[in-house]
Every structure is written in C-alpha cells, then in structure tokens.
Chain A
Amino acid sequence: MKIIPRVATTLAALAAASSASAQSIDETVNAVFASSTGWFVNFIFAPIPGTGFPWIVAWLVIAASLFTLYFGFIQFRVIRHSLQIVSGKYSDPNDAGEVSHFQALATALSGTVGLGNIAGVAVAVGIGGAGATFWMILAGLLGMASKFTECTLGVKYRNEFANGTVSGGPMYYMTKGFAERGLPGGKFLAILFSIFCVLGALGGGNMFQANQAHEQLAGVFGAYPGWITGVVFAGIVFAVIVGGLKSIAQVTEKVVPFMGILYVGTALVILLMNVQHIGPAFGQIIDGAFTGAGVAGGVVGALIQGFKRAAFSNEAGVGSAAIAHSAVRTKEPITEGFVSLLEPFIDTVVICTMTALVIIITGQLMIDPTTGDYILNEAGRIVTLDGSSGVGLTSAAFASAFSWFPYVLMVAVLLFAFSTMLSWSYYGLKAWTYMFGEGKNQELSFKILFCLFIVIGASANLGPVIDFSDAAIFAMAVVNITALYFLMPIVKRELNSYLTRLRSGEIKRFH
C-alpha cells in the first residue's frame, strides 16, 4: 500500500520540476513526430490531380457504394433479420456458452464507439460545418455494406489453432480466399495490411486516444504536460496487456456500454429540451450539405470532413471489425456479416448524429448574423463559442445544457479511450503476430511498443497526431478494400445460399 503515496509524490515532484522543461519535451516530441510522419500523411491525403478531393475519400465512398449496389442494398433488406439474430432467435440452445452474436457485436462496438463519436464529430462539424453531418450519415449507411462484406469473410476464413483459440481478420481472408480463387498476391496483401494495421493500432487506436484523453483531463484540471497523462495511461495499459491484470479490462468492458447509454441518453435529453431547434438544425445540415454554407472548401469541404470522420469512427472497410467479429461460433459466416452491419448504423447514424445535433442546436458554431455564413479563423476552421475544438467542443456543447456534464464526459472519454486502446492493442497484436509468428517474445515486443506510443500520443499536438492517425487507418482500408473487390463473389454466393435456405425454412428459428 505504501507504493501508491510514493508514486503520487514522485509524479507530483516530476510535474513540478518539469514545469520549465516539460513544454520543451512536448515540443520536441511534436516536432520529431510531425517531421517523420509528414510524407506518409501527404501521400494518403493527396488530392486527385486537378481537384481538391483526396483520393482516399473517393476510394472509401466508391467501395461502400459498390458493395451497396452489388449486394442489392443489403443493409436495408436484412436489418430486421439482423436484429433477430442479435437477439438470439436463431441461436441453437445447444451452443449456449459459446460467444453469442450479441457479445461479438457489443465487443466490436466498444472498440469503435469512442472518441471518434465524441471528438471526431466535433472536428468534422468544426471544419465542415453542419453539412458535414449529412455526409457522415450517408457514409455510415453506405459503410454498412462494407462492414457486412469484410466481417463475413473474417469469420469464413479465420484460423483455428490446435489449442482451440481463433485468429481471424483480413490477413487470413487475403491469403486463404485468394488461394481458393486461384488469385496471386494474397500473401503480399496480407503482409501489407498487417504493416498498416500495426501503424493504425499505434495511430488511431492509440495516439489519437491518448491525445484526446489528455486534452480532456487538461480541460478539466488545467493545463499540464501531456507526457504525464501518457505515462499514467501507458502504465495502466501495460498492467493489463503485459501484466495480465484482466480485471481492469473486464471492468472497462462492462462499464463502457453504460457510459455509451448515458452519453446517448444525455444527448437525447438536450435534444428534447431544444425540441424547437431540431427542425432548423436539420435544415442547416441539409442546407450545408449542398451549399457548403461558407465553410472552407464549400460542399466538397463538408463532404470530405463528413466521410473522413465517419470512416474513422465506424471503421467500415478498414478491416479492424473483421478481426473483432471472427471469433464468434456460427455455422453460417454470413450471419456475422448481418450482425456487423448494425455497427456503422449504431456508431455513426445514431451516436455521431447525436453529437453533431447537440453541437449544432446549442449554437457552438459562430454564424455571422449579416451573411448567415460561418465565421472562419485564419486556419479555415469555424470559430466556436469558446474557441474550443475536438473533444473540448463537444464538452462545451453538453456543458451549455448541463454544467456538470464535462466531468461525466471526462470519465466517458477516459474509459472510451482506454477500451479503444485495448481493442486496438488486440488488433495490432494479431497483425504483428501474423507477420512475426506467434510467441511470447513477439507479443511482448509489440506490447511495449504500443505503450511507448501512448506517451508520444499524449505529448504531441492534435494536428500531427490526428493526421497520422487518419492516414494509418485509411492505409489499412486501401489494402483491405482491394482484397474485398476480389473476394466479394464469395460473399455473394454465401448470401444467396443462406437467403434461399432461410426462405425454404431450412435455417431454423429456435425461439
């Protein structure tokens, strides 16, 4: 027990002693980080020649639209059946005790519902205005088809090891699926995906989370050096993923869903309190989506922000969900695809929209009363009521209705950040061990690297971190979607076979 006061004293001493030098540590980390990742970020977000439109956004939109068309608007056709599967109506009672569809969905959701829904949305509307929300919702709806495709393949081609544990995800369907279709290059894509998955785990799944967690803490307790938050977070994550302190992870997994419900519940109450503003807010959303309403880059600017942040939040097409969903026990891989398509709906269409509506109806975005357009600062961002951005903007919007909410949000952000980090440490580890082989040393080296990046993420400025996080996550989508194009006929075959058997009554309903 003596160790706790000792650690606290040491931390306090460190914080005090470092007040002069800390800023410079943060600045050094920031400068090194920005200069070493800049080329990668520039490549991923390069505009299509002759336009201002990043090719990566077009890549995601086209893929999601193609999957939607190829599978005949699957996301709208089977949503009722998806809900029946999640509620267990088609689960064989003899399989009780195995991972249920509900559990797979809940765990995958706790990996995706997080800062993307709170901070990411604020970034989107802070740059793209209310109109970004429309494109975000559209991206969420289209993304359901991408998720359906990748998660079906994730289950179909997972690996079952001799000890009974399972590993699945894009790297497995790339190798096995390509081999089955007699296509070359599966192994190459799998390695490329794994490299980007490790970067994504360190970026969006780690540094972005640490960074925003620090911003939230600094917002409530006053500014202090970011590396302190980083070290504390890294210590806890280290205790869980290296030290095997599973109880922390288990508590987090159980508390996170309730924080999610509390967040959505509070947003709903704020919307009800401002019910007269909901109509005009949707007016602003639609208007902004097609006129640009004076944001930097106009309609395209709003669209890019909406699509970027939706993809970052729900990860559809990125391939991470295929890892998360692959462990479920089912005789029909397609059923997990049906379940997973609910994820972008809950994450983006419901939760992200709630955040955006709260920011819009509480009047956080400053509008010039004479022109009706947003007031922009030198950087092209919309000026907000108290000058905040990211998670601070969401916090300010909620605080305008409930002054105590920033404290709840702080706890929620910390928990979301923590659970997202745990999920991504798992995804990253799966990619790492795919490349370097299963084994204690390989696992430990990744886990230590992961913890180091938490400190870097908390110390760096939002700009470079968010750019690198996006770039790494989207790089995963480049490889994953390429593979999905080649493998989608397999999913179609599974889908047609399943739907025929469902109609004929061969697929039994148990409850």
Chain B
Amino acid sequence: MASVRREIRINCSPDEVWAVVGNPTLIHYWFPGMTNAVVDGNSRVITTATGITLPEVIVTNDSVARRFQYRIDSPIMQEHLGTIDVFDLHDGTSLVAYSTNAVPDPMALIIGGGTGAALVELKRQLELGEGPALAGAQARLGES
C-alpha cells in the first residue's frame, strides 16, 4: 500500500478549521476539481470535474480528536483510506494533515496531488475569512 501525506499550517484556530473539514458536505467547496458532494448518513458521493463519480464511506468524523476519515468505495480502488487531521498548535494556528493510503499505489499519488491543492485552497479561504466553504460552514452553524 502506498501512503502520501500533505500538510499545511493555517492561521486560524482548530475550531474554525474543523468547522469546514468536519463537515463532509462542504468538501467540493475547497477541494479543487470536485464539483459536487452528496452525503447520506455515512455515505458520500463526490463528483469530479472530469465527470467521475466516486462513492465513499465516512469512516471517522471525530470532533474531539478533530479527525475525519473516509474510504473510496469503487472498483478502481482495491484499498483506500483518506485521513484529515486538524492539530492545535496552541498559538492560534492549526496544522492540517491530509493523508492518502491506497492500492493500487499510483492512486495514492493521483489523489495525493489533489489533496495538496485542497489544503492550499482551504488555507486561502480560511485566512481570507470568506469563500464558499466558509459560507457553508457558517450556514450550518446558523442551522444549529
């Protein structure tokens, strides 16, 4: 199994970051090349910009540990686990690590490249204080 990890430091509190990362309906707002995400219980189906739909199973959504994990449940993947961890750096900033474990091995690189771009976009929106992912997170907070 191949493993790829990307990480980024974001100048926002872990709670602010987790409000986006921990909401599985928002991923297409911060993952470049994803155009839609539909969540039903612990199932999520994402659509990519090339028209590929990928069913996923949400494995972990732990707001205490701030860990989100999901598995792509598609014949193109023999095994997959995506893990997003949000760490509190105790200085008002956060470290976000996005890991991809996959078989076939090249899929880890293909997906891992996308996760790197996703972290950059996540940071951009959070530090700017605006963007579709934040709007989605705030709407969710308003609902609750």
A, B from the same assembly = no
Question: Interface of B with A (CB < 8 Å)?
Answer: none
Question: Interface of A with B (CB < 8 Å)?
Answer: none
